């Protein structure tokens, strides 16, 4: 087991309308334990804020794969040992997503990058040799490309610092999302029967069946404050007879003689009242909290959390739900169209029917308060030209200082008139998995699994 | 399998009520009050009440085209003439997410009369009204004209109809409960209190998982669902509950997206038994809220399951809307409609002090107001050309 060090700073949060986000300084600096494995020389593991440990090349650039994926009308992505990411820009739609046909000329063709311009192949040096799951694949252009577990690897031009995962993420749900690129990651070091998933709030520890894991403030390393009656509500997670303590994982023997897993010194439980996977309902019970192998830093201080009809959503200072815009185009290379450096044609169509002015009225950017500063890597203040939707440079006239999540600006929706309304959640193609607006669900009590 | 309420069932409403009351033998059938003078029912099936006959008498010109078919008509593939994404697919997406009342460039086939299920909402027998399957006159159900000839919504197995109905039972988000209090008899009572709210728990079902069983337990949702809490009054005659109109926001998601509908002046007309209730929820459906629900749950791909088209539906719905005029524009915001509904009896846990306080403080939810910065009709007309519109659509423009 190995944990990478990571610096954190705390942001004071202000509760305005709705619930307070989190107490400043309440989060520990822990990062997720993972199982080390042999790496090519110079390659390493970096810890990203959202996705946890990721593999990186010699320069610390996160490595991604492009998994082969079945779409509605065909397949795309890389097969094992081959790259389908060309060095010439796509010009036509692929018709991979029903009901529209392929063969339509893509927008902004004169500015469209090639797949390889956005996703440079992770090229191996001449003398690099395979090690463990790492192999070297001969490309069609004669170069040698690193592969992991058979999947050829790329870096992302969006990533600039070690630990950045701005090209893709492990958070996006499947469904009808584009064929996205995933960061490759070492296996989390968790006992059998437990697993970890990336969530908006951190890397959630849960059972293999998906039920959230909880810890109790009344427990210590040597004593449990959860009595027999409590155990009816919070069921200890049993450790098998063969279990051995290691790293941050330990064993606690309850009064009944039952052995129970602990993590970072805290006995672990599941909540009998959780009726669905990844429910956080147990954390409503005073003293109980869900367990994360690592947590994300809090959202910006001026943000709030509001109760909606389906759980809690992140909201701006006035309680208006905050949305992200997701987009992947229907070309064979499935490039992103959600970053401000990407074409804005799709977004302007969705939010304003092609009009930037209507877009700004329907889906205004979330402007940063004066003096607002970045909160970690995920929440950053960027300057945007509202006329084009692209990044502005150096205090350009009319530029807005807005909040961005993973460098993608976030929005409110003027059609939400009361705190907690989520009228634009899922507005778009394929429930906005493919393209459109999604609310930031701080806690989803009905749908998310 | 589709277990939604059919025309035939609606037609048998009164007979059903009497029959079930006699069959159960207990409580209501002999006029006794339910335990504690209170009874609750949870919705298990919900679908738009349309007249859908196998011979399609209500659609003499056939069924409407959907997104896919319309795309082919509007942008045919011609060798040597490349099509731009922006001018074709993206244009249709804009027309879908930013719909206008510009005339439809393609024909829209309305559901025809004279028969459609529903209730007489305005107490008037007008030229647009239908005759109910049971012969009742003055039925207000313009929604039948909009959806009646769209395969997605037709009974018994239109794809969207099927999925939306199935999700009612499957998703806790859709757990609508109607609780009656002060009930002296399920057969007859001139005044009962009616409370509508959302429950938190799965519906009790049989081993097959699809048949709802009476006697399940529910808790009221006062954490996430206070916006759905409404109260009204009702009366029971011959085992049929009729309620006073109440503006109703109700949850109805289809594919894991928290979407709602809003019905102005909603009234329940339900045959009651100790174990179940069945009938209609009728009123004026808010057009923008309905359309937003469709766009969020059923984007173009899903609309193509059963040949529906967002832009065409929006135009028809706005054209045929018949109530709740907008105070600024005068255009009607809502359309007469009815939902066919089935309920199963449930036991609601007694409200705690905290829940009672939440109920008292609950603020009813609002309808959706539409896209704030709307696309001008003229902008769409410049792209589509008004000349292509069918005469019926052009004539109806005065409605806006």
**Which residues make Cβ contacts (< 8 Å) with residue A189, sequence separation at least 6?**
A1, A33, A34, A35, A247, A249
Q: Is A102 on the interface with B (CB under 8 A)?
A: no
**A1 pLDDT more than 60:** no
Burial of B328 per CB tally in 10 Å (0-12, 13-18, 19+): exposed
Distance CA A135, CA A112 (A): 31
Binned at pLDDT 50, 70 and 90, residue A20 comes out as very low
Q: How many beta-carbon pairs under 8 angstroms link A with B?
A: 143
* Chain A residue nearest residue B259, CA to CA: A423
A357 interface with B at CB cutoff 8 Å: yes
CA–CA distance, A167 with B70 (Å, rounded to integer): 36
pLDDT of residue A276: 87
Give me the residue from A310, A350, A423 closest to B368, CB to CB: A423
For the segment B236-276, what is each residue's pLDDT rounded down to a tens digit? 999 999 999 999 999 999 888 999 999 999 999 999 999 99
Most A-contacting residue of B262, B295, B372, B380 (CB-CB within 10 A), to test interface:
B372
Chain A interface test: which of B299, B358, B377 (most A C-beta within 10 Å): B299
**Residue B189, pLDDT score:** 97
Residue A2 has pLDDT above 50, yes or no: no
Pairing state of beta strands B216-218 and B332-348?
parallel
DSSP code of A66?
A: -
Query: Which pLDDT band holds residue A103 (cuts at 50, 70, 90)?
Result: very high
Residues of B in contact with A309 (CB under 8 A): 173, 224-225, 227-228, 251, 258, 260, 365
Q: Are B281 and B266 in contact (CB under 8 A)?
A: yes
Residue B26 has pLDDT above 70, yes or no: no
What does each C-alpha distance from A277 to A205, A263, B81, B173, B253 come to in angstroms?
12, 20, 51, 15, 19
Min CA distance, A88 vs chain B (Å)?
19
Is the per-residue pLDDT at B24 higher than 80? no
Reported as a pLDDT band with limits 50, 70 and 90, residue A170 is low
Q: Are B258 and B11 in contact (CB under 8 A)?
A: no
User: Mean pLDDT over residues A66-85, rounded?
Assistant: 93
Instruction: Provide the shortest C-alpha distance from residue A50 to chain B (in Å).
Output: 24
Q: Which of A308, A349, A427 sits opposite B296 (nearest CB)?
A: A427
**Predicted pLDDT of residue B255:** 83
Q: What is the pLDDT of residue A173?
A: 58
Interface test with B, best of A309, A358, A422 (most B CBs within 10 A): A309
Q: What is the ipTM of this complex?
A: 0.91
Q: Which tens digits make up the pLDDT trace of A301-357?
A: 999 999 999 999 999 999 999 999 999 999 999 999 999 999 999 999 999 999 999
Q: Which of B159, B173, B219, B224 to mutate: most A Cβ within 10 Å?
A: B224
Closest chain B residue to A106 measured between Cα atoms?
A: B85
pLDDT at B67 over 80: yes
What is Dmax (Cα atoms) for chain A? 71
Q: What integer best gives the mean pLDDT of chain B?
A: 90
In sequence order, the 6+-apart residues with CB closer than 8 A to the CB of A445 are A279, A280, A281, A310, A311, B224
Q: Does A358 touch chain B (CB under 8 A)?
A: yes
Which pTM does this prediction carry? 0.91
- Mean pLDDT over A265-272 rounds to 97
Terminal C-alpha separation, chain B:
40
Split at pLDDT 50, 70, 90, the class of B30 is: low
CA–CA separation, A446 and A279 (whole Å): 8
> Are A39 and A132 spatial neighbours (Cβ–Cβ below 8 Å)?
yes
CA-based angle B215:B218:B219, to the nearest 5? 155
Interface of A with B in 320-349 (CB under 8 A): 345-346, 349
SS3 A352: helix
Give the span between the Cα atoms of B37 and B24, in whole angstroms: 18
A144 pLDDT exceeds 90?
Answer: yes
**B99, closest residue in chain A (CA to CA):** A353
Token pair for residue A339? 């970053």
CB hemisphere CA count around A138 (13 angstroms): 1
Q: Are A419 and A17 in contact (CB under 8 A)?
A: yes
Is A142 in contact with A134 (CB distance < 8 Å)?
Answer: no
Contact criterion met (CB below 8 Å) for B9 and B265? no
**Region B147-166: what's the mean pLDDT?**
97
Q: What is the 3-state secondary structure (H, E, C) of chain B?
A: CCCCCCHHHHHCHHHHHHHHHHHHCCHHHHCCCCHHHEEEEEEEEEEECCCCCCCCCCCCCCCCCCHHHHHHHHCCCECCECCECCCCHHHHHHHHHCCCCCCCCCCCCCCCCCECCCECCCCCCCCCCEECCCCCCCEECHHHHHHCCCHHHCCCCCHHHHHHHHHHHHCHHHCEEEEEECCCCCCCEEEEEEEEEEECCCCCECCCCCCECCCEEECECCCCCHHHCEEEEEEEECCEEEECCEEEEEECCCCCCCCEEEEEEEEEEEEECCCEEEEEEEEEEEHHHHHHHHHHHCCHHHHHHHCCCHHHHHHHHHHHCCEEECCCCCCEEEEEEEEEEEEEEEEECCCCHHHHHHHHHCCCCCCCCCCCCCCCHHHHHHHHCHHHCCHHHHHHHHHC
Two structure tokens written together for B181? 């209090």
The answer for B 117-156 residues in CB contact with A (under 8 A) is: none
CB A196 within 8 A of CB A190: yes
């Amino acid at each position: 087991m190995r944990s990478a060090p990571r610096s954190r700073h705390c942001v004071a949060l202000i509760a305005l309308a709705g619930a307070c986000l989190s107490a400043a300084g309440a989060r520990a600096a822990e990062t997720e334990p993972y199982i080390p494995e042999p790496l090519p020389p110079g390659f390493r593991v970096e810890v990203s804020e959202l996705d946890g440990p990721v593999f990186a090349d010699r320069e610390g650039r996160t490595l991604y794969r492009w998994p082969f994926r079945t779409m509605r009308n065909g397949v795309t992505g890389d097969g094992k040992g081959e790259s389908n990411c060309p060095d010439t820009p796509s010009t036509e739609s692929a018709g991979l997503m029903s009901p529209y046909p392929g063969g339509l000329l893509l927008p902004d063709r004169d500015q469209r990058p090639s797949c390889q311009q956005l996703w440079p192949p992770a090229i191996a040096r001449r003398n690099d040799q395979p090690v463990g799951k790492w192999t070297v694949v001969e490309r069609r252009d004669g170069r040698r490309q690193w592969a992991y577990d058979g999947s050829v690897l790329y870096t992302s031009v969006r990533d600039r610092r070690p630990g950045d995962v701005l090209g893709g993420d492990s958070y996006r749900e499947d469904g009808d999302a584009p064929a996205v690129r995933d960061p490759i990651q070492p296996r989390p070091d968790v006992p059998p029967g437990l697993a970890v998933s990336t969530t908006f709030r951190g890397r959630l520890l849960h059972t293999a069946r998906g039920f959230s894991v909880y810890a109790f403030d009344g427990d210590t390393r040597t004593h449990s404050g959860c009595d027999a009656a409590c155990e009816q509500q919070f069921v200890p997670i049993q450790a098998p007879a063969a279990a051995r303590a290691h790293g941050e994982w330990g064993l606690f023997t309850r009064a009944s003689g039952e052995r129970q897993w602990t993590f970072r010194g805290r006995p672990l439980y599941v909540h009998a009242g959780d009726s669905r996977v990844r429910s956080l309902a147990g954390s409503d019970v005073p003293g109980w909290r869900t367990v994360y192998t690592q947590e994300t830093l809090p959202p910006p201080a001026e943000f709030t959390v509001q109760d909606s009809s389906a759980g809690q959503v992140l909201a701006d200072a006035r309680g208006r739900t905050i949305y992200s815009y997701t987009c992947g185009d229907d070309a064979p290379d499935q490039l992103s169209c959600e970053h401000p450096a990407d074409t804005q044609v799709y977004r302007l169509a969705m939010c304003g029917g092609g009009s930037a002015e209507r877009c700004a009225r329907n889906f205004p950017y979330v402007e940063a308060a004066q003096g607002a500063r970045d909160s970690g890597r995920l929440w950053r203040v960027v300057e945007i030209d509202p006329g084009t939707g692209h990044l502005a440079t150096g205090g350009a006239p009319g530029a807005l200082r807005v909040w961005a999540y993973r460098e993608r600006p976030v929005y409110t929706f003027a059609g939400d008139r009361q705190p907690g309304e989520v009228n634009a959640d899922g507005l778009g193609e394929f429930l906005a998995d493919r393209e459109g607006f999604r609310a930031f669900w701080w806690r989803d009590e009905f749908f998310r699994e | 399998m589709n277990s939604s309420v059919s025309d035939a069932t609606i037609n048998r409403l009164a007979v059903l009520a009497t029959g079930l009351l006699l069959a159960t033998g207990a409580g209501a059938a002999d006029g006794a009050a339910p335990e504690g003078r209170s009874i609750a029912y949870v919705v298990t099936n919900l679908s738009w009440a349309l007249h859908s006959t196998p011979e399609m008498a209500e659609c003499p010109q056939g069924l409407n085209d959907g997104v896919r078919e319309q795309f082919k008509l509007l942008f045919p593939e011609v060798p040597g003439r490349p099509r731009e994404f922006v001018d074709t697919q993206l244009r249709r997406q804009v027309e879908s997410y930013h719909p206008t009342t510009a005339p439809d460039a393609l024909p829209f086939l309305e559901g025809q009369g004279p028969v459609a299920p529903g209730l007489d909402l305005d107490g008037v027998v007008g030229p647009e009204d239908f005759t109910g399957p049971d012969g009742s006159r003055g039925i207000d159900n313009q929604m039948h004209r909009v959806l009646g000839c769209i395969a997605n919504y037709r009974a018994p197995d239109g794809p969207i109809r099927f999925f939306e109905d199935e999700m009612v039972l499957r998703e806790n988000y859709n757990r609508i409960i109607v609780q009656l209090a002060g009930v002296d008899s399920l057969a007859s009572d001139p005044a009962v209190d009616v409370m509508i709210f959302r429950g938190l728990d799965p519906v009790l079902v049989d081993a097959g998982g699809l048949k709802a069983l009476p006697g399940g337990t529910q808790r009221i949702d006062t954490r996430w669902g206070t916006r759905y809490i409404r109260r009204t009054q009702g009366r029971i005659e011959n085992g049929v509950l009729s309620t006073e109109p109440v503006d109703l926001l109700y949850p109805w998601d289809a594919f894991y997206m928290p979407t709602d509908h809003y019905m102005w002046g909603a009234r329940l007309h339900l045959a009651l038994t100790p174990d179940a209730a069945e009938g209609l929820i009728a009123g004026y459906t808010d057009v923008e809220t309905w359309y937003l629900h469709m766009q969020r749950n059923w984007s173009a791909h899903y609309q193509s399951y059963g040949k529906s088209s967002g832009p065409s539906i929006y135009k028809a719905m706005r054209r045929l809307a018949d109530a709740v005029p907008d105070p600024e524009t005068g255009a009607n915001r809502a359309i007469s409609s009815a939902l066919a509904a089935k309920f199963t009896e449930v036991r609601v846990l007694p409200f705690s002090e905290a829940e009672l306080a939440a109920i008292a403080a609950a603020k009813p939810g609002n309808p959706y107001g539409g896209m704030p910065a709307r696309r001008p009709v003229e902008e769409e007309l410049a792209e589509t050309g008004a000349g292509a519109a069918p005469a019926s659509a052009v004539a109806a423009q005065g409605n806006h």
